[in-house]
A and B are shown apart, each in its own frame.
Chain A
Amino acid sequence: MAEVSCRKIVKEYDGGVQAVKGIDLDIADEEFVVLVGPSGCGKSTTLRMIAGLEEISGGEILIGGEVVNDVPPRDRDIAMVFQNYALYPHMSVFDNMAFGLKLRKFSKEEIKRRVDEAARILDIAPLLERKPRALSGGQRQRVAMGRAIVRNPKVFLFDEPLSNLDAKLRVQMRTEIKKVHQTVKTTTVYVTHDQVEAMTLADRVVVMNAGIIEQVGTPQELYHNPATRFVAGFIGSPAMNFMPCQILDGNGGGLLVHVNEQIVLPIPAARVDRYRPYKGKKMVFGMRPEHLFEYHEQAKPGWERVDLKVDVVEPMGMETMVHFFLGGDPICARVAPETECHPEQILSLTADMNNMHLMEADSGKVV
Chain B
Amino acid sequence: MSATTMNSGASERAAGRKNSLHRQRLWALWGSYVALAVFAVVFLVPPFYTVVTSLKSSAEISAQVGSPWIVKNPTLENFWYLLTYPNFQTYYLNSVMVTVLTVAFSMIISVLAAFSLSRMGFWGSQLLSTGVFLTYLIPPSLLFIPLFQIVGSIGLINSVWSLVLLYPTLAVPFCTWIMIGYFSSIPKELDEAALIDGASYLQILTKIFIPVAMPGIIAATIFAFTVAWGAFLYPLAYLYTSNQMVLTVGIISDLIRGDVFQWGKIMAACLLASLPPIVIYAFLMDYYVAGLTAGATKG
Instruction: Identify the A interface with B (CB < 8 A).
Output: 51-53, 72-74, 78-80, 82-90, 99-100, 103-104, 131-135, 137, 140, 147, 151, 164
Contacts and interface: CB of A to CB of B under 8 A. Distances in A.
A324 B235 CA distance: 84
Nearest to B293: A89
Nearest to A80: B196
Nearest to A144: B193
Contact of B297 (A51, A72, A84, A100): A84
A72 B199 CA distance: 11
Nearest to B203: A103
B218 to A, nearest CB: 14
Given A74-B199, A103-B197, A87 B192 contact: no
Contacts of B200: 74
A84 to B, nearest CB: 4
Given A84-B187, A89-B293, A104 B198 contact: yes
Interface string B198-212: 111001000110011
A89 B292 contact: yes
B190 A86 contact: yes
Given A82-B192, A100-B196, A164-B298, 4 more contacts: A84-B298, A86-B189, A89-B294, A100-B198
B258 interface: no
A134 B192 contact: no
The 4 nearest A-B residue pairs measured at CB: A133-B295, A100-B197, A86-B189, A132-B295
Contacts of B295: 87, 89, 131-135, 140
A90 B211 contact: yes
B12 to A, nearest CB: 40
A72 B204 CA distance: 15
B194 interface: yes
Please classify the interface of chain B as helix (H, G, I), strand (E, B), loop, or mixed, using the class held by over half of its residues. Answer: helix
Given A53-B195, A90-B212, A137 B190 contact: no
B290 to A, nearest CB: 11
9 contacts: A51-B196, A85-B296, A88-B190, A88-B194, A89-B295, A99-B197, A99-B207, A103-B203, A132-B295
A133 B196 CA distance: 22
Contact of A99 (B194, B292, B294): B194
Given A53-B192, A80-B192, A103-B203, A86 B296 contact: yes
Interface in B242-282: none
A195 B17 CA distance: 49
Given A74-B197, A74-B199, A133-B295, A88 B192 contact: no
Given A73-B196, A74-B196, A74-B199, A88 B294 contact: no
A86 B197 contact: no
Contact of B198 (A74, A83, A90, A135): A74
A189 to B, nearest CB: 13
Contacts of B297: 84-87
Given A74-B199, A100-B198, A86 B294 contact: no
A132 B197 CA distance: 18
B188 to A, nearest CB: 9
B296 A79 contact: no
A87 B299 CA distance: 12
Contacts of A147: 193, 197
A137 B298 contact: yes
A44 B198 CA distance: 21
A88 B198 contact: no
A87 B203 CA distance: 16
A251 to B, nearest CB: 61
A147 B192 CA distance: 13
B208 A88 contact: yes
Contacts of A131: 295
Which residue, B194, B207, B292, B295, has most C-beta atoms of chain A within 10 A?
A: B295
